[in-house]
Chains A and B, each alone.
Chain A
């Protein structure tokens, strides 16, 4: 069984981002970029499925600038077999990403498409669902447990108020949640071995996908600063402040 895993290059989780002075975007110049943590979980899950003998080949795909190669190399070092970079400098929105992934899936014919439930940069949480619709495949989103059989996959989903398990007919799309697994550290010998694994490149044009943005960002702003709390001397003062300043009483 072949698994296709999509990985996104995003601003590192530990970086404190700042908004550009003109309010058009987040400033990512000279900022450490890493693999989207949810995608890391997706790669880890695929590698575990391969180690368990359920999956025979793992193909990782990333869409974006040339530096996404680094992200793909990390995935290869974690245990993926080969990589595909759809190289473009264009801004990619979820629908374009879903269309590109569909094009890759049409070519590769995987039984499983595993993606992070969302990327930590735009938090869109749309790609997995959209690509499942475009492909006409079943979807199991927010997976906290994945159990693959010959024809089906059981996906335990984290939903409000508990867990829900769905049985999907393969091929299927699975999006990974935080508690699915804990990604491994990348071993140095594997990093060296990953350099020799195949990494193919293509472009949106070659795949015949129009990636022109459909959404326009109007403004990016920092969250409002929280002002420091104060200590009140007694209950009367508290009540007075709630009445006159907070105006909640």
Chain B
């Protein structure tokens, strides 16, 4: 709880109209896309400058008040949830694009710039910011970096980490660090930039970033393929990857598709349902690229790996086909899904998937399980939907029981229990599935160096 005097002090640090304590704002900014937590924020603060962020952190350190960073709040692990009376620091007013370096192909911006805004800005300048995902219209650059966001183009362009060449951060002691200054090469010791990428706000706040930009891709074509057997998806992946410049390779199950179609905004791609679908996107770099893609389709069909396929005939159709995959997350949100975001190295996907399928069929017979994900990166999103009659706490407990089996398998495969969603609150207790005890001890030590009083997003990650 904030004392009246503390509230008054915050009002002096920022303008009074940038300190919100009304219930609506507290609820909205106290939550991300996870639906398990009850928000309980003390206040929501909207700084406009780095100086204001520094002043806030110094104040919080003096008052020993915990801070939670807030971007577009599209996270799926509770990393931006405030449930213990913390102060939420929203970066949405720090949304300026500061500088474009056309020669160096970099852009410097504040943390609160919306991903899509940056993508459009880059395109308008003949360049391309390739990190992309379904929530790009809401998510912010600062949050992307703090969670090392992945998304739908990782198979070609990598995670957010690949694109960050400079950061300005405010540590838990209110110190401002300029990390790497946008350099392409800088071998001068420990690179703190990479510590902050994926740190989920536990070391400090990211206030500014310099991002690398790429050449825009040539025309992109989208194919959706109907695949009867889960195991054949990787065969298809290997065949296509050998011959084409894939920019995406995604899969989803018929169950996932049904939820998207139920919204009535897109049509079924095939008359006949298949158990699984692959969406792949490729760059038409040469006149014969499409011919090659068609030949690959024929080859895969001869092998019996796929039974049908469609190819976008316009950018409009490409966008519509993408919705079959991108709308899944939103269409199942009403079912309060329990989200597993697991990954193994690509070569082990077939073996992993076979065993996982067995575990889920055995352990979740009563639940609807929706499969989709970035299978070209070895990353699966396994969503378990809550039956309407089941109370949310009972549902979550049941899922956590099954987690033990799933995570045991992940551990056996040296996989990740959170491939791109981060750890936050939701996966906090499972960190040791993917990190050794020695690593976790060192992670805690690193946190205490940057945030000695433990005021930066406490309870998350480590």
Contact = CB atoms under 8 A, between A and B. Distances in A.
Interface of A: 12-15, 32, 34-35, 37, 74, 77, 182, 184-189, 191-192
20 contacts: A12-B314, A12-B315, A12-B316, A13-B316, A14-B314, A14-B319, A15-B315, A32-B314, A32-B315, A34-B314, A34-B315, A185-B269, A185-B310, A186-B310, A187-B310, A188-B297, A188-B308, A188-B309, A188-B310, A192-B298
B317 interface: yes
B316 A37 contact: yes
A197 to B, nearest CB: 15
A14 B316 CA distance: 6
A15 B312 CA distance: 15
Contact of B294 (A13, A14, A191): A191
B219 interface: yes
Nearest to B316: A13
B267 interface: yes
Contacts of B269: 185
Given A32-B219, A185-B269, A192-B294, A13 B314 contact: yes
Contacts of A192: 294, 298
B313 interface: yes
A191 B315 CA distance: 17
A67 to B, nearest CB: 11
B297 A13 contact: no
A138 to B, nearest CB: 31
A182 B310 contact: no
Contacts of A186: 310-311, 313
A32 B294 CA distance: 20
A189 B300 CA distance: 12
B223 interface: yes
B321 interface: yes
Given A13-B314, A35-B314, A188-B308, 15 more contacts: A12-B315, A12-B316, A13-B316, A14-B314, A32-B315, A34-B313, A74-B313, A185-B267, A185-B310, A185-B312, A185-B317, A187-B308, A189-B308, A191-B294, A192-B298
A77 B314 CA distance: 14
B309 A187 contact: yes
Contacts, number: 56
B299 to A, nearest CB: 12
A111 B54 CA distance: 76
Contact of B321 (A15, A185, A188, A189): A185
Contacts of A187: 270, 308-310
Contacts of B315: 12-15, 32, 34
A37 B317 CA distance: 10
A71 to B, nearest CB: 9
A196 to B, nearest CB: 13
Contacts of A182: 267
A57 B403 CA distance: 58
Contacts of B311: 185-186, 188, 191
Interface string B260-275: 0000000101100000
Contacts of A35: 313-314
A19 to B, nearest CB: 15
A192 to B, nearest CB: 6
B116 to A, nearest CB: 14
3 A-B pairs with least C-beta separation: A34-B314, A14-B315, A185-B310
Interface string B301-334: 1000000111111111111010000000000000
Nearest to B313: A74
B227 to A, nearest CB: 13
Contacts of A34: 313-316
A12 B219 CA distance: 11
A186 B290 CA distance: 14
A43 B308 CA distance: 22
Nearest to A186: B313
A239 to B, nearest CB: 24
A176 to B, nearest CB: 16
Nearest to A10: B314
Contacts of B314: 12-14, 32, 34-35, 37
Contacts of B312: 185
A98 B223 CA distance: 36
A188 B292 CA distance: 12
A184 B319 CA distance: 14
Interface string B43-79: 0000000000000000000000000000000000000
Which of A37, A77, A187 neighbours the largest number of chain B CB atoms within 10 Å of its CB? A187
A187 B317 CA distance: 13
Contacts of B313: 34-35, 74, 77, 186
B207 to A, nearest CB: 25
Nearest to A74: B313
Nearest to B309: A188
A153 B175 CA distance: 77
Nearest to B312: A185
B252 to A, nearest CB: 16
A100 B298 CA distance: 38
Contacts of B319: 14
A96 B172 CA distance: 72
A198 B297 CA distance: 23
A46 B311 CA distance: 21
A180 to B, nearest CB: 15
Nearest to B222: A185
Nearest to A78: B313
A94 to B, nearest CB: 23
A26 to B, nearest CB: 16
A224 B221 CA distance: 33
B297 to A, nearest CB: 5
B223 to A, nearest CB: 7
Interface string B136-157: 0000000000000000000000
Contacts of B321: 185
Which of A13, A15, A37, A191 neighbours the largest number of chain B CB atoms within 10 Å of its CB? A191
A185 B221 CA distance: 13
Which of A74, A182, A185 neighbours the largest number of chain B CB atoms within 10 Å of its CB? A185
Contacts of B270: 187
